Structure 1
């Protein structure tokens, strides 16, 4: 791979999520045996299912398989952070990191690991891919928190096994998914075969992509300014609620971090705001989409204050505001 194509900041990371049987392992095998000259490290919970072509296999260590194309496959030890460090420090030159979540998992903890201070300067979260088995996925899956979270966090939804169902069923699924995640990028595939440029190093995590990525799809952009009125028609139909919060005192940064991972935030799908932390002289611009969030800084040009708008489903505005009050620095 030409060095000029490598990202300027940190190794790109793609997280692959999806229910059991959706095709995650097939996709991983497809990526590992690719011939795009991309040196990939794949982190999995166990090797069991990975069917590496034996001709590709160079060596098997305790928790690492090395392949002749320069890729490696690594089992996640007890600590994801440790495993990532192990790959980053390995003698093998790796261009790209792919992490598979377990089929029943909520991807949030893994996403947060890559956004943590320990990793965010070393890696760049490129995208979250969610695989869906078109044959076996039914709207009742949406009653499962994990399935719902996987779709809400997914930057790209891969509808797999479309060869096993009718076009009508595929369209129904696409409609269901779009209801939950407006503006979702949905790609169809068979056997998890998808051109890798469509899913790797696509920089979907770029903060500029958030508006298209979440609730604010194109017909929704005019909602930016007056969230109290503009959102009402669109949000009430879907059961979404918009909550705003303002205060003239700074937050404590640790308390705010805890607030973001609090259970109450599980139903907040989109948030944005300007934050003032007691520990910092800078203005923080906050963006949250699904469970991915970004904090960028700039100098204050206006009086310091906290302003936040959150959009979610079945959320209590009073509870959210009370939790935010608790974040205020005392």
Structure 2
């Protein structure tokens, strides 16, 4: 393995566009052989199913937050990926939407991977349409912005120019140094975010923005009260009824995503919901040897799994197992 393999950390709050950007990175013709470490907060992996990677090039860390509960798993995954993927040119780490990237960054400041890896930069995606609401949902949104070497203000097509300028001004309050690029659907020239030597370890500050205190993200989920609930539905569902169920979810559900098996539809349906915005699209035919299961992950506060499962059973005519 070559020394000093460059690493980019992709972070950003729930639904900001991290996996969309990761897919763009993997699908573009740049000639780089890229390995991925993907962290998801829910028990069921959704993003991992959407990323097409050759076997051995993708490590998934589920059911935990990369900055605290699965941090040791990250170290093991990185070493395992390096051991079994000898021909990599680059490594991309996508954190969960509730992760504070400072603890992962600290691994590189402490030179834990000094012989193998070089942190190239922390890229934080910011959801322009949910910007102010995300600060109300969790203090982690501010920590992700303050940790960035490069900021991407995403979904600018959903906000007007005056709102965009207000957000850009506020971003400077949390991170006056990082360049900020405006994006739609996470479209950004990769030359602006990969192998740019944006991370400067000598300038790295472990203090949280605007606080002057050391970061202790291992407690941030308990403090914020953020949780995830996962379901699997064995019977095909009615898409219209499911969309109505999504629309009726409480505002305490910040993020919903999943892979759906739909009645009379031979293809998998992918859905995303951020706040009250829904996106559903056909992905591909179900493989003959894969079980046709609907997999659903909800992330938010004050979630009641039994009540959510009962609602899914009523509108979908299936038994939800959470």
TM above 0.5, yes or no, is: yes
| Pairing partner for 2:60 from 41, 58, 75 | 75
Question: 2:6 touches 2:117 (CA, 8 Å); kept in 1?
Answer: yes
Q: Is the 8 A contact 2:37 2:92 kept in 1?
A: yes
- Number of residue-to-residue matches in the alignment: 204
Query: Residues 35-46 of structure 1: matches in 2 within 5 Å?
Result: 35-46=29-40
Q: Secondary structure of 2:88's match? A: coil
Partner of 1:125: 119
* 1:98 correspondence with 2:105: no
Q: Distance in 2 between matches of 1:146 and 1:239?
A: 13
From the CA coordinates, give the structure whose radius of gyration is larger.
1
> Which residue does 1:3 correspond to in 2?
none
In the alignment, the residues of structure 1 paired with residue 38 and residue 125 of structure 2 have an alpha-carbon distance, to the nearest angstrom, of 16
Unaligned 5+ residue runs, structure 2? 63-69, 221-322
1:121 CA drift (Å): 2.3
> How far 1:239 sits from its partner (Å)?
7.4
- TM-score, normalized by length of structure 1? 0.54
| In structure 2, distance between residues paired with 1:27 and 1:140 | 20
Change (3 A) 1:85 1:240: closer
Which residue in 2 is equivalent to 1:22? 16
Higher relative contact order (CA 8 A, sep 6+): 2
Query: For residues 96-145 of structure 1, what are the alpha-carbon distances to aligned partners after superposition, in whole Å with 9 as ceiling and x for unaligned?
Result: 11111111111122112233443122111110011011111117717832
Equivalent position of 1:48 in the other structure: 46
Task: Quote the Cα distance in structure 2 between the aligned partners of 1:103 and 1:262.
Answer: 17
Instruction: Give the Cα separation in 2 of the matches to 1:11 and 1:98.
Output: 10
Residue in 2 that maps onto 1:206: 200
Q: Secondary structure, in 3 states, of the residue corresponding to 2:129?
A: coil
Task: Pick one of 171, 174, 180 that aligns with 2:168.
Answer: 174
Task: Select which of 49, 61, 80 maps to 1:86.
Answer: 80
1:135-179 C-alpha deviation (Å, 9 max, x unpaired): 111177178321111111101110001111111111110000012
Structure 1's unaligned 5+ residue stretches are 1-7, 58-64, 215-237, 242-258, 267-330
CA distance in 1, matches of 2:197, 2:75: 22
The 5 A counterparts of 1:149-160 are: 149-160=143-154
- Using the size of structure 2 for normalisation, the TM-score is 0.56
Q: Does 1:161 align with 2:152?
A: no
Structure 2 contact 57–85 (Cα < 8 Å) conserved: no
Matches within 5 A, 1:57-72: 65-66=53-54, 72=57
- Supply the distance in 2 between the matched residues of 1:162 and 1:168 (Cα, whole angstroms): 11
Distance in 2, matches of 1:151 and 1:112, equals: 16
Contact 1:139 1:176 in 2 (8 A): no
SS of 1:82 mapped into structure 2: helix
Supply the distance in 1 between the matched residues of 2:30 and 2:201 (Cα, whole angstroms). Answer: 27
Give the C-alpha shift of residue 92 in structure 1.
4.5
Q: Distance in 2 between the 1:204 and 1:187 partners?
A: 14
Distance 1:81 1:11 in 2: 15
Q: Per-residue displacement from partner, 1:23-78 (whole Å, max 9, x unpaired)?
A: 0010111111111001111110255224657xxx5xxxxxxx407xxx93221375
